[in-house]
Amino acid sequence: MAGHSKWANIQHRKGRQDKLRSKLFSKLSKEITVAAKMGDPDPEKNPRLRLAVKEAKSNSVPKDVIERAIGKATGGDAENYDEIRYEGYGPGGIAVIVEAMTDNKNRTASTVRSLFTKSGGNLAETGAVSFMFERKGLVVYPASAGDADTMLDHAIEAGAEDVESSDEGHDVYCEFTDLNEVSTALEKALGESETTKLIWKPTTVTEVDLEGAEKLMRLIEALEDDDDIQNVTTNMDASDEVMAQL
């Protein structure tokens, strides 16, 4: 029975990973379709599409899936999506920004509000928490790309603002309007990045204990499980001990 239980657990984890991978592909494809529909279907002539394609490639989205997403926009059969930002407070007063692409605003708003309420948080007006964040461009490279000084030199040369380096890798930050140019310059110097995307970077953080972190993670997972939700960002700060237990 123990062996069967272990196998069942492995299968459950694999099923969860496959589900998450499928959802990620779907959300990245949606961003590609929307970007292609809003501008030129050629990534070289459409900065937003170029970034969407680059992010998809960095997450191992197959080439045919990317091409199909672009084709859907140019073929005229793409659904119309509204881009909406929701803001609120999660458990423990943690600031949460939720970015969505939806073909039904009422459905998405109802879902997001319900998830916040169930978590012990509350949905707020637009602008209620975004003042605690900055809109930035982020380019991530692995530690193997070079040491901290080398990365800083390349980042400054590319027009970036700052680099945060650790044993895990290098996070290069820039003005959100400069992301296309900065990522292109870094790519020429260092090769393909691991991640290139627009983010909300917290300017103030709120520390949580293990219980608070667990509650917040359940809210994040529930939000990310919804097909309409593209990104979820918080200003949660947790100690290494708490993160290890999570």
Length of the chain: 246
Task: Specify the pLDDT at position 242.
Answer: 79
Going by C-alpha positions, the residue among 232, 230, 199, 233 that lies closest to residue 100 is 230
Q: Are 201 and 170 in contact (CB under 8 A)?
A: no
Tens of pLDDT, residue by residue over 12-53, are 444 556 667 788 889 999 999 999 988 888 888 888 999 999
In this prediction, residue 7 has a pLDDT band, given cuts at 50, 70 and 90, of: very low
Tokens of 207: 């520390």
Task: Specify the pLDDT at position 20.
Answer: 75
Task: Specify the pLDDT at position 245.
Answer: 79
pLDDT (mean) for 232-241: 89
CB neighbourhood size of 103 (10 A): 11
CATH superfamily for 2-74 is Integrase, N-terminal zinc-binding domain (1.10.10.200)
pLDDT (mean) for 119-129: 93
Protein fold of 82-246:
Alpha-Beta Plaits (3.30.70)
Task: Specify the pLDDT at position 44.
Answer: 86
Question: What is the residue extent of each domain of the chain?
Answer: 2-74, 82-246
d(CA 20, CA 40): 30
Half-sphere exposure of 147 (CA within 13 A, CB side): 1
Tokens of 231: 């990104």
* pTM of the entire predicted model: 0.84
Contacts 24+ apart (CB under 8 A), 74-77: 74/36, 74/41
Contacts of 94 (CB under 8 A, 6+ apart): 121, 206, 208, 212, 216, 234, 235, 236
